[in-house]
């Protein structure tokens, strides 16, 4: 918004400048003015055009000299990202009966947030509650707790809880003390132990809502794709899941969707005996699970299809 | 200086007990120094590696985020609290022989209070953003309380150490027979005079 305003004011001032030039030259023909303007353009501008995507999604051509450092925009983005979308309360429902460890959610997340391969915001665990019960796949995003322990231990306010229930991290504030990682009872947070080597596309600036780029020595985690939510789209993992395991929605609207079907959240919870992981901790997560009953796939199918490195993780999976 | 040979002798003995290396620097001192300096250099090399390549070289991962750093920090904090406890208890009970022990204990407290936080600095991912701890403090965070508690503790213990060392500084200042003084341009005396300005005033008051 601000950017377009600036552009407008600049172009109007340029017009004024051209008018003045025209007056100064005096009685010259229209062709002369046009010629003058071309000359003055060439003098002050580099002449190189760069194609940019405007905030409303249109492709625009901008002169290279017009591009200014976006410090103010970053500040504005950050303050917006701290507020969040008011009047919303985002929730996720994960249907454990459908998950077969396709890992499409992990891949989509890593691609969308430009994460290195060893950096997983969405993690897939192989769980078994008891010796007598069957194993099941357990996708685990950030739970975006309503009483987040990570937020209360942060010494600099780099991680915060927004109005819409999302817990975000400000990469440029984080000092990397890792206290939030020890505070989180779900081991959701991941640390950038080395430089993630993110190649930021030209013109893109850091936005806490995308989490791009990840910075060495700071903490990252699932952010419910806050940038997508602002555009009224589903998070990347939800739209990537081929099985429709992940449902996303709004608690205040009482509806969740996995892209194919939209269901009433309260009814889904009641019908399928939904629960929250480790509710005894009192963190009040925003992510709900549906128990792995009447499963669509055997748990082994998820192991067969996965890579060797991924397979190795689940060697010792089982009850403790 | 005082004209009393006996006092001079006891002072010399005291000085030799307190700082035996201030007069002579023997081969043993150099060997000890070399060994510890070597270890120090290894640490510096490791630190440079960590700064260059990132915290990945520590071998710590997401499940072990503080590792040996926090162990060392807690170890030195524990040492400092032990020192503070010993000197505090002795001071409270007015034990007759407390002064030399308090001196030792307070020295231990202050030195470990200085060394301890260094491990936190090595542990923090973005050392360049360390001022944020003071710029954007959140009082409910335990780390903010670490900052407040350790800095207060350091100031208090340093004052206590200074108070317990005043008499020793006075001895060092008055002792004219120091080897270093003979060819050392009296740097030490100047330092002790500067350190002792508070003690001088106290002396005047008591006299």
A118 touching chain B per CB within 8 A: no
Cα separation, A260 vs B94, in Å, equals 80
Interface residue B56 vs chain A (CB under 8 A):
yes
B129 touches chain A (CB under 8 A): yes
Contact indicator for A249, A91 with CB cutoff of 8 Å: yes
Q: Is A159 or B173 the better-scoring residue by pLDDT?
A: A159
Separation of alpha carbons B108 and B124, rounded Å = 25
Grouping H, G, I as helix, E, B as strand and the rest as coil, residue A191 is strand
Whether B26 shows a pLDDT value over 50: the answer reads yes
Dihedral of the alpha carbons of B61, B63, B69, B73, in degrees to the nearest 10? 160
Kindly list the structural domains of chain A, giving each domain's residue range(s) and its CATH number in brackets, ordered by start: 2-68 (no CATH), 85-313 (3.30.70.20)
Residue of higher predicted confidence among A8 and A50: A50
pLDDT value of residue A174: 95
Which of B62, B126, B137 lies closest to A176 in CB terms?
B126
H/E stretch holding B119 reads: helix B98-123
Spatial separation of the C-alpha atoms in residues A243 and A246, rounded to whole Å: 8
Q: How confident is the model at residue A41 (pLDDT cuts 50, 70, 90)?
A: very low
Spatial separation of the C-alpha atoms in residues A312 and B142, rounded to whole Å: 37
B152 assigned to some structural domain: yes
Q: Which tops the pLDDT comparison, A36 or A180?
A: A180
B24 membership: H or E segment, kind and range? none
Strands (E), B13-153: none
**B71 within some domain:** yes
User: By C-alpha distance, which of A105, A91, A108, A89 is closest to A244?
Assistant: A105
User: Is the pLDDT score of A13 beyond 60?
Assistant: no
The 10s digit of each residue's pLDDT in A24-36 is 444 444 444 444 4
Closest to A151 in 3D by CA, of A141, A164, A161, A163: A161
More confident call, A245 vs A8: A245
User: Is residue B177, in this structure, part of any structural domain at all?
Assistant: no
pLDDT band at B156 (very low <50, low <70, confident <90, very high): very high
Strand ranges (E), A197-320: 219-220, 246-250, 255-257, 262-264, 287-290
Interface with chain B: mutation pick from A156, A172, A174, highest number of B CBs within 10 Å: A156
First CA to last CA across chain A, in angstroms?
A: 55
Distance set, CA A131 to CA A98, A100, A134 (Å): 22, 20, 8
Local confidence band at A302 (pLDDT 50, 70, 90 cut-offs)? confident
The boundaries of the domain holding residue B56 are: 22-165
- For residues A168 and A80, give the distance between their C-alpha atoms in angstroms, rounded to a whole number: 12
Number of domains in chain B: 1
- Residues whose CB is less than 8 angstroms from the CB of residue A275 and which lie 6 or more positions away in sequence, other chains included: A288, A289, A291
CA torsion A306-A307-A310-A311 (nearest 10°) is: 70
- Residue A34: what pLDDT? 44
Long-range residue pairs from B134-138, CB within 8 A, at least 24 positions apart, any chain: B135/A156, B136/A156, B136/A157, B136/A173, B137/A155, B137/A156, B138/A154, B138/A155, B138/A156, B138/A157
Is residue A294 predicted with pLDDT exceeding 90? no
Report residue B141's pLDDT band, with 50, 70 and 90 as the boundaries: very high
Does B148 reside within a domain?
Answer: yes
CB of A125 within 8 Å of a chain B CB? The answer is: no
B6-18: average pLDDT = 64
In a domain, B174, yes or no: no
**Contact at 8 Å (CB) between B164 and B102?**
yes
Distance CA B164, CA B155 (A): 14
Instruction: Report percent pLDDT > 70 for chain A.
Output: 82
In this prediction, residues B152-178 reach a mean pLDDT of 79
- Nearest chain A residue to B124, by CA: A177
Q: Which of A142, A212, A127, A235 is nearest to A181 (CA)?
A: A142
pTM attached to this predicted model = 0.75
- Locate the chain B residue with the closest alpha carbon to A187: B63
pLDDT at res. B206: 57
- What mean pLDDT is predicted for residues A116-132? 89
Q: Which of A190, A287, A285 is nearest to A235 (CA)?
A: A287
Nearest alpha-carbon partner for A221 in A312, A109, A128: A109
Task: State the Cα–Cα distance between residues A258 and A199, nearest whole angstrom.
Answer: 31
User: Would you say residue B13 lies in a domain?
Assistant: no
pLDDT tens, residue by residue, A125-176: 988 888 888 889 999 999 999 999 999 999 999 999 999 999 999 999 999 9
What is the average pLDDT score of chain A?
83
* pLDDT tens, position by position, A238-292: 999 999 999 999 999 999 999 999 999 999 999 999 999 999 999 999 999 999 9
Asked if the structure places residue B155 within a domain, the reply is yes
Pairwise pLDDT comparison (A252 vs B19), residue with the higher score: A252
What is the C-alpha to C-alpha distance for residues A66 and A79, in angstroms, rounded to an integer? Answer: 25
Please choose, from the candidates A117, A135, A115, A118, the residue with its C-alpha nearest in 3D space to the C-alpha of residue A126.
Answer: A135
Residue A308 is predicted with a pLDDT of 80
State the DSSP code for B64: B
Only one residue has tokens 């010494």, namely A155
Q: Does A181 lie at the interface with B, CB-CB under 8 angstroms?
A: yes
Query: Which value, in Å, is the radius of gyration of the alpha carbons in chain B?
Result: 22
Q: Name, in order, each residue with C-beta under 8 angstroms of A73's C-beta and a sequence gap of 6 or more.
A: A2, A3, A205
B16 within some domain: no
Average pLDDT over every residue of B117-137: 92
Cα nearest neighbour of A175 on chain B: B126
Summarize pLDDT for B67-125 with one digit per residue, the tens. Answer: 999 999 999 999 999 999 999 899 899 888 888 889 889 999 999 999 999 999 999 99
pLDDT at residue number B91: 87
Alpha-carbon gap: B150 to the closest alpha carbon of chain A (Å): 15
Residues of A in contact with B126 (CB under 8 A): 174-176, 215, 217-218
Q: Are residues A155 and B125, on separate chains, in Cβ contact within 8 Å? A: no
Q: Which of A174, A178, A194 is facing B54, going by the closest CB pair?
A: A194
Span of A231-235, A315-319, B28-32, B60-64 with lowest mean pLDDT: A315-319
């Amino acid at each position: 918004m601000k950017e377009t305003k600036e552009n407008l004011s600049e172009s109007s001032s340029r017009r004024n400048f051209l008018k003045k030039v025209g007056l100064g030259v005096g009685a010259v023909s229209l062709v002369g003015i046009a010629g003058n303007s071309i000359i003055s353009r060439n003098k002050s501008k580099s002449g190189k055009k760069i194609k940019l995507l405007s905030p409303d999604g249109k492709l625009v051509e901008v002169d290279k000299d017009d591009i200014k450092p976006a410090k103010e925009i970053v500040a504005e983005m950050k303050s917006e990202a701290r507020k969040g979308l008011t009047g919303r309360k985002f929730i996720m429902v994960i249907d454990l009966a459908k998950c077969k460890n396709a890992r499409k959610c992990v891949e989509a997340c890593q691609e969308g947030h430009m994460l290195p391969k060893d950096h997983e915001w969405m993690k897939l665990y192989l769980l078994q509650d008891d010796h007598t019960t069957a194993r099941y796949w357990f996708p685990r995003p950030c739970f975006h707790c309503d009483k987040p322990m990570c937020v209360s231990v942060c010494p600099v306010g780099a991680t915060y809880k927004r109005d819409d229930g999302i817990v975000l991290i400000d990469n440029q504030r984080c000092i990397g003390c890792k206290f939030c990682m020890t505070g989180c009872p779900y081991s959701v947070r991941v640390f950038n132990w080395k430089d993630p080597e993110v190649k930021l596309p030209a013109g893109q600036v850091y936005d806490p809502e995308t989490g791009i780029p990840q910075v060495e020595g700071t903490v990252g985690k699932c952010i419910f794709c806050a940038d997508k939510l602002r555009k009224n789209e589903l998070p990347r993992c939800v739209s990537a899941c081929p099985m429709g395991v992940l449902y996303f929605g709004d608690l205040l609207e009482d509806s969740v969707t996995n892209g194919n079907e939209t269901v009433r959240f309260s009814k889904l919870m009641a019908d399928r005996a939904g629960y929250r992981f480790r509710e005894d901790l009192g963190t009040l997560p925003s992510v709900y699970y549906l128990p792995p009953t009447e499963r669509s796939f055997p748990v082994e199918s998820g192991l067969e299809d996965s890579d060797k490195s991924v397979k190795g993780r689940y060697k010792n999976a089982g009850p403790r | 200086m005082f004209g009393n040979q006996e006092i001079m002798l006891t002072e010399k003995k005291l000085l030799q007990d307190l700082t035996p290396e201030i007069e002579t620097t023997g081969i043993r001192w150099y060997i000890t120094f070399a060994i510890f300096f070597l270890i120090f250099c290894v640490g510096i090399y490791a630190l440079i590696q960590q700064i260059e390549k990132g915290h990945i070289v520590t071998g710590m991962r997401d499940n072990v985020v503080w590792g040996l750093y926090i162990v060392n920090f807690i170890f030195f904090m524990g040492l400092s609290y032990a020192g503070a406890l010993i000197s505090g208890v002795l001071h409270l009970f007015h034990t007759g022989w407390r002064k030399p022990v308090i001196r030792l204990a307070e020295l231990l407290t202050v030195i470990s209070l200085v060394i301890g936080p260094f491990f936190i600095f090595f542990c923090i991912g973005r050392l360049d953003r360390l001022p944020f701890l003071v710029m954007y403090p959140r009082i409910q965070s335990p780390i903010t309380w670490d900052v407040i508690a350790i800095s207060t503790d350091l100031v208090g213990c340093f004052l206590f150490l200074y108070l317990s060392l005043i008499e020793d500084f006075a001895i060092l200042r008055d002792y004219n027979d120091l080897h270093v003084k003979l060819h050392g341009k009296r740097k030490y005396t100047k330092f002790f005079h500067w350190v002792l300005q508070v003690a001088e005033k106290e002396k005047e008051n008591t006299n």
